[in-house]
Structure 1
Amino acid sequence: MTPVPSSFGLRSVDRLVITFLIDNSLEWFTKLPAGFTHELPQHLQHQNPPLKTHPVTGVPVLDLNEFCCGAHGFSALIETQISGEDAHLTLFDTGPDSLSLVRNVKAMQIPVGKVTRVITSHWHADHTGGLLSFLKLRAHNGSECIVDCHPDRPISRGMARGAQPNIIFASLPDDPTFQEIEAAGGVVETHAEGHAVAGGAVWVSGEIPRITSFEGGIPGAKRWVEEGGRGQWISDELILDERYAVIDVAGKGLVIFSACSHAGICNVVRDAVNRFSRPIHMIIGGLHLAPPDSAVRIEPTIDFLSRQLIPAPNFVLPMHCSGFYFKVELEKALGDGCVPAGTGIKVEILGDRELDSRLFSPTIV
């Protein structure tokens, strides 16, 4: 059966493999659902990196210098396969710095030369900080690597606290410039609108509609702008350059990557459901409910995901900036559907086209 593109160019896939390369957390031992594999078993099975033998005991030694590290940020390698076609490797975000992604790519034995596209979810350094180091790592592979990003790159982004809204207490490191990306071997491709990539297997959103009443952006977020030779900080609470990515797995439904959810995960899900009329199989990424001023959003967010969205997602993977309390409360609502994912974990999702006709469009009540 040939996968039929949706009106937005998204085609359903027969196989999706996700490798989490950057997350705040490492999870080595927690129980995971079928299809999820911890980092350690992957190394033991494939002997990558090769295990050394202890000189006295003769037992294999786990060299922790060769394993993944956690970092405040997000990055996921997305492998998509449509039956009868070549697989595509797409990197979604690159973590916060020049060290962690390179280390973890090597630890997980990622074939960097086969990654043909990097998608940046938005212009924040904890999602773009590893971009240049990744491009330099694969620069001598001879193939082009497209960097898919929003055209509105800010000069700088900073934060103010609620009691002092005009005092910027810190700014993030500057995101890579378009010129720096090209110098490192990337091919800049800017998109403000939604579009399909990876042979139609991955859809990258445009601006996320802000509909949900309790998802009002990020209080205190600021952006530096310049006009007429003068610069100033302005309010940037909506982070309008943020985008999500989605894959449709045959017989399962949509897998959504929302790296930081500044727009609100309910708004992200609403947009995906409205566009594709497909049930949600899995939600992945930072849900930005860790900050104290986001606590009031936790209960209505969980209510939306577990009760208002019908059917509810099969799995939610709250990562990066989701927050401990949100994870605890979400587990109460979803049980094993709340998955403790982290750096180094691999997920394989196999499609089933025979089941596809049995899926029905979700509703939001």
Structure 2
Amino acid sequence: MTDASQGRSAIVPVPLDSLVVDVLTDNVSDTYVSKALSAVSEFANVVRAGATIISGETLLNANLGFGLQLISKVGAVEHHLLFDTGPEGATFERNCRNLGIELGGIEAIAITHGHWDHMGALPAAVDAIRAGGGTPTVHVNPGMFNQRGVLLQNGSVIQVADVPTPAGLQAQGAAVVNDGDARLLLDGHFYYSGEIPRVSSFEKGRVDHLARRGPNDPWHPDPLLLDERMLVAHVRDLGLIVFSACSHAGIVNVCTEVRALFPEIPIFAVMGGLHLGGVMERIIPDTVEGLRPFGIANIITGHCTGWRALHALADAFGDAVSQSAIGTTYRFDQSLELTR
């Protein structure tokens, strides 16, 4: 498929019969929140995994960060992929254990960008997959491995944790694809993007975000985080499911790029962090209006979206908007088309 207006060719994911999404890491724990898309709550999932009592020990831990397990199916072919891993190993391991997830079946890990709250648990995830008999392929790009920092209001800079390196991951036994270009993953079940163009008039990134190559180099502004990537799946009879873990590119830019790449396929759902809290709250009204033309049936917000943005989106789009929460399972398949 070619998008003539952009002069680019898109590699197109195959239509899936079904896609199951497990929320392994997120900022929010809320088993009581209204669920969308035939979603299953944390309580039900831990009971299914073997819990005989609901308690603090049998439930999951919320933490700053984001991580999903995606299970895709076409006919008899099934693939298991992690979309980011969250901030630290103990939380990741506990949450997977309480959900009864067998990590040895994970074939690939798609990392969205080089921030600790998305990659901090990656070494623990690789170790757990290897211990279960798997050999994961980790997909990254070279821009993810700069040091990052935040400019505080008093003018000082605080560095955030470094992320695992390709060499370190390979030493753990993972295969690493460190490439900036777009590619299809796992028999074409998933589209892992290249750099996301910044085209909207208002999504200009984080003014407080800094980067440097190493500890002896000066900090420089890095508002755009050009290393960020998205993941897209195509579920038959529904449309595209777009995963944007932090939306540093801006969720309108993300959807604009998806529309340019796959103009014949509607966007059925967007899921992830929209990074509209804190210093980004000023662009909430523009973001709401910018999303309107896409006609997205389901906007599942999590992680860094912020409560002001969630409320604004819900006011604008009603039941199309829901809150992601740890331990929730979403299933996308033809049965949803029958209920639309």
1:239-278 equivalences in 2 (<5 Å): 239-277=225-263, 278=265
Aligned residue identity for 2:198: R
Structure 1 vs Structure 2: percent identity of aligned residues?
28
Once residues 153 and 316 of structure 1 are traced to their aligned partners in structure 2, the CA distance between those partners, rounded to angstroms, is: 27
Q: SS state of the match for residue 153, structure 1?
A: helix
Q: Quick check: 2:206–2:224 contact (8 Å CA) kept in 1?
A: yes
Q: CA 1:97–1:252 in structure 2 vs 1: closer, same or farther (change >3 Å)?
A: same
Aligned residue identity for 1:41: A
TM-score, structure 1 as length reference: 0.86
- Partner deviation per Cα, 1:225-262 (whole Å, 9 max, x = no partner): 25xx9521111111010000000111111110000011
Aligned residue identity for 1:62: I
Once residues 106 and 161 of structure 2 are traced to their aligned partners in structure 1, the CA distance between those partners, rounded to angstroms, is: 25
Aligned residue identity for 2:271: I
Once residues 203 and 331 of structure 1 are traced to their aligned partners in structure 2, the CA distance between those partners, rounded to angstroms, is: 28
- Partner deviation per Cα, 1:122-154 (whole Å, 9 max, x = no partner): 000000000001111122233321011112233
Q: Quick check: 1:154–1:223 contact (8 Å CA) kept in 2?
A: no
Query: Which of 291, 294, 305 is residue 291 of structure 2 equivalent to?
Result: 305
Once residues 300 and 7 of structure 1 are traced to their aligned partners in structure 2, the CA distance between those partners, rounded to angstroms, is: 28
- The answer as to 2:49 corresponding to 1:36 is no
Unpaired runs of at least 5, structure 2:
1-8
Shift of 1:43: 2.9
Aligned residue identity for 1:282: A
Query: Which of 279, 285, 289 is residue 266 of structure 2 equivalent to?
Result: 279
Q: CA 1:112–1:328 in structure 2 vs 1: closer, same or farther (change >3 Å)?
A: same
Aligned residue identity for 1:16: L
Aligned residue identity for 2:273: G
- The answer as to 2:28 corresponding to 1:25 is yes
Q: SS state of the match for residue 96, structure 2?
A: helix
Once residues 183 and 286 of structure 2 are traced to their aligned partners in structure 1, the CA distance between those partners, rounded to angstroms, is: 30
Once residues 162 and 279 of structure 1 are traced to their aligned partners in structure 2, the CA distance between those partners, rounded to angstroms, is: 42
What corresponds to 1:16 in structure 2? 19
Once residues 185 and 72 of structure 1 are traced to their aligned partners in structure 2, the CA distance between those partners, rounded to angstroms, is: 27
Query: Which of 323, 327, 335 is residue 318 of structure 2 equivalent to?
Result: 335
Q: CA 1:152–1:36 in structure 2 vs 1: closer, same or farther (change >3 Å)?
A: same
Aligned residue identity for 1:12: P
Q: CA 1:50–1:159 in structure 2 vs 1: closer, same or farther (change >3 Å)?
A: closer
Q: Quick check: 1:16–1:79 contact (8 Å CA) kept in 2?
A: yes
Aligned residue identity for 2:221: S
Once residues 169 and 260 of structure 2 are traced to their aligned partners in structure 1, the CA distance between those partners, rounded to angstroms, is: 34
Q: SS state of the match for residue 71, structure 1?
A: coil
RMSD of aligned alpha carbons: 1.9
Once residues 135 and 90 of structure 2 are traced to their aligned partners in structure 1, the CA distance between those partners, rounded to angstroms, is: 22
1:167-316 equivalences in 2 (<5 Å): 167-168=156-157, 170-226=158-214, 230-277=216-263, 278-291=265-278, 293-306=279-292, 308-309=293-294, 312-316=295-299
1:90-129 equivalences in 2 (<5 Å): 90-129=81-120
Once residues 158 and 42 of structure 1 are traced to their aligned partners in structure 2, the CA distance between those partners, rounded to angstroms, is: 37
Aligned residue identity for 1:33: A
Aligned residue identity for 2:58: E
What corresponds to 2:61 in structure 1? 69
Once residues 147 and 78 of structure 1 are traced to their aligned partners in structure 2, the CA distance between those partners, rounded to angstroms, is: 15
Once residues 34 and 246 of structure 1 are traced to their aligned partners in structure 2, the CA distance between those partners, rounded to angstroms, is: 18
Once residues 184 and 49 of structure 1 are traced to their aligned partners in structure 2, the CA distance between those partners, rounded to angstroms, is: 31
Aligned residue identity for 1:330: L
What corresponds to 1:346 in structure 2? 329
- The answer as to 2:72 corresponding to 1:80 is yes
What corresponds to 1:49 in structure 2? 50
- Partner deviation per Cα, 1:32-91 (whole Å, 9 max, x = no partner): 1241110112233x2x2341xxxxxxxxx32321221101000010111112x3210000
